[in-house]
Amino acid sequence: MELLRLATAGSVDDGKSTLIGRLLFDSKAIFEDQLESVERVSRQRGDEYTDLALLTDGLRAEREQGITIDVAYRYFATPARKFIIADTPGHIQYTRNMVTGNSNADLTIVLVDARKGIVEQTRRHAFLASLLRVPHILLCVNKMDLVGYDRDVFESLREEFAAFASRLDVADLSFIPISALQGDNVVQRSVNMPWYEGASLLHHLEQVYISSDRNLIDPRLPVQWVIRPQAASRLDYRGYAGRVAGGVFRPGDQVMVLPSGLTTTVAGIDTFDGPLDEAFPPMSVTIRLDDDIDISRGDLICRPMNQPTVGQDLDAMVAWMTERPLAPGDFLALKHTTRWVRAVVRDIHYRLDVNTLHRDESATSLALNDVGRVSLRVTQPLYYDSYRRNRQTGSFILAAEDTDVTAGAGMLLGPD
């Protein structure tokens, strides 16, 4: 069975949590005790109907305020696929939680309230999803019940969003008119919108083609851990454990190890379940090499004819996620693949206005929730690809050196 990771996006009250609740409810993925608990809480609060958003808004504060504060993960499966859903908050002050939920998504559902239309948060979230390079974006025009299931409302929002999205980097964009509350086009096709001829949301999620979304071209294995069993029977064993971040490795392949630049061949690919003929993303494996070369955590195994960029001067789009602004001269801890290094901010080139996508080149810092283009210098060379080419070797996080909190997320820019 295949796995699809999806995340929600869109402004507060556009119906994200209700939609996820409806999806789970109509696909019979809700357990009786969960439903009873949600019904009880709804009754106690005096809701007119059972609030399905309570299925994901599980924290005390969320229930008291009727909002989503942090990502909730929910799981369900149909005979076709297993789904991991990240339901994210719409408030601007919780943008970092939206980014958290979307960073691993294969597909983002952007919700819009049919009455309110496309607002700043819709654009911000669609922009962030495209920046994170979520391969599939699905715009759901929600609350169609409140606009009389009017086709024109849907068509005009679709046009408006498509025009905005054409300026983003979106590989696949689709549109569905729905009512999360009533269930129209969520699991079943709606009888109220005969003019809509596309698939229901669930059907779309089951069908969308996801296998082309990984990099199978550039072999990359960031070394996580060196396995050296202290057992008499395996005294000479040396394995390099890690998760394949790109490409395919096979025994006999000629490989290069960075930073040393030494070349050797793959002697074998080991797992607890036996040796492998091929290792590809996102497998966690252990590679043995023919020659005894000095390799430690943070090194990278690649191919001599296909090497990543090596450098200390980085150019990246950075999403800033903490109150203290980011400014030139700031020192931060940076984690890239399996390495922590120190970084200093050299320059803030521009800040992006999420509404207009205008580049404000006069910006001298990035505030909480800003996104901008930043140059950094790091203490040791990194072996990286552009984020566009490889989500694993092209991303990094920044942590504050004093408080240790995760303060920023970076997507590396490169020649391609």
Ligand X SMILES: Nc1nc2c(ncn2[C@@H]2O[C@H](COP(=O)(O)OP(=O)(O)O)[C@@H](O)[C@H]2O)c(=O)[nH]1
Site membership for ligand X, residue 14 (CB under 6 A)? yes
Nearer to Mg ion, 8 or 322 (CB): 8
Instruction: Identify the bridge partners of residue 288 per DSSP, sorted by sequence position.
Output: 268
For residue 279, what are the CA distances in angstroms to 265, 276, 298, 301, 338? 15, 7, 19, 13, 19
Name the minimum Å distance from CB 114 to Mg ion: 17
8 A C-beta contact, residue 215 and residue 184: no
DSSP letters spanning 183-218: TBTTTBPPSS-TT--S--HHHHHHH---GGGS--SS
> Taking contact as CB under 6 A, which single stretch among the options 26-34, 92-100, 176-184, 400-408 is the one that binds ligand X?
176-184
Question: Do residues 308 and 384 make contact, with C-beta atoms less than 8 angstroms apart?
Answer: yes
> Shortest distance, CB of residue 270 to other proteins, whole angstroms?
8
Q: Which residues pair with 285 in a beta bridge?
A: 242
Partner whose footprint covers residue 200, from other proteins, Mg ion, ligand X, none (CB < 5 to 8 Å by kind): none
| Residue 125 interacts with ligand X (CB under 6 A): yes or no | no
143: contact with other proteins by CB under 8 A: no
Query: Binding to other proteins by residue 262, rule CB under 8 A?
Result: no
> Do residues 400 and 332 touch, judged by C-beta distance below 8 A?
yes
Residues 6 or more apart from 50 whose CB is under 8 A from it?
A: 35, 38, 39, 42
**Per CB under 8 A, 217 contacts other proteins:** no
281 binds ligand X (CB under 6 A): no
- Is residue 254 within 8 A of residue 291, CB to CB? The reply is no
Report the residue number, 100 or 185, with the smaller CB distance to other proteins: 100
The least CB distance from residue 126 to ligand X, in Å, is: 14
Among 108, 122, 142, 393, binds ligand X (CB under 6 A): 142
The β-bridge relationship of strands 254-258 and 221-222 is unpaired
Partner whose binding site includes residue 41, from other proteins, Mg ion, ligand X, none (CB under 5 to 8 Å by kind): other proteins
Write down the least CB distance from residue 81 to ligand X, Å.
Answer: 23
Q: 327 Cβ partners below 8 Å, 6+ apart?
A: 345, 348, 364, 365, 366
Residue 104 interacting entry, from other proteins, ligand X, Mg ion, none, C-beta within 5 to 8 Å by type: other proteins
Binding residues among 109-128 for other proteins as defined by CB under 8 A: none
Q: Which of residues 282-311 bind other proteins (CB under 8 A)?
A: 282-284, 286, 297
Asked whether position 153 contacts ligand X by CB under 6 A, the answer is no
Q: Are strands 395-400 and 406-412 parallel, antiparallel or unpaired?
A: antiparallel
Alpha-carbon dihedral sign for residues 288, 289, 290, 296: negative
In the set 141, 409, 412, 414, which binds other proteins (CB under 8 A)?
A: 409
Helix or strand holding residue 76 (H, E): strand 72-77
DSSP string covering 313-340? EEEEEEEE-SSSPB-TT-EEEEEETTEE
Which residues are CB-neighbours of 98 under 8 A, at least 6 positions away?
9, 71, 88, 89, 90, 125, 128
Span of 121-129, 198-206, 229-237, 342-350 interacting with other proteins by CB under 8 A: 229-237
375-394 residues near other proteins, rule: CB under 8 A: 391-392
Phi, psi of 92 (to 5 degrees): -60, -35
* Residue with smallest beta-carbon separation from ligand X: 15
Indicate whether 102 belongs to the interface with ligand X (CB under 6 A): no
Among 53, 139, 157, 319, binds ligand X (CB under 6 A): 53
Cβ neighbors of 227 (< 8 A, separation 6 or more) are: 237, 238, 239, 240, 241, 286
Instruction: Please report, for residues 120, 345, 349, the alpha-carbon distance to residue 362 in angstroms, rounded to integers and kept in the order given.
Output: 22, 16, 8
Q: Is 9 left (phi over 0), alpha (psi -120 to 50) or beta?
A: beta
* Nearest to other proteins of 115, 250 (CB atom): 250
Q: Which lies closer to Mg ion via its Cβ, residue 11 or residue 68?
A: 68
- Of positions 80, 84, 262, 363, contacts other proteins by CB under 8 A: 84
Encoding tokens for residue 116?
């309110």
Of 7, 99, 107, 180, the one binding ligand X (CB under 6 A) is 180
Nearest distance in Å: CB 187, ligand X: 14
Q: Is 50 in the site for other proteins (CB under 8 A)?
A: no
Q: Please report whether residue 104 would count as binding other proteins according to CB under 8 A.
A: yes
Tell me if 230 contacts other proteins by CB under 8 A: yes
Please report whether residue 27 would count as binding other proteins according to CB under 8 A: no
Binding stretches for ligand X (CB under 6 A):
10, 12-18, 53, 68, 90, 142-143, 145-146, 179-181
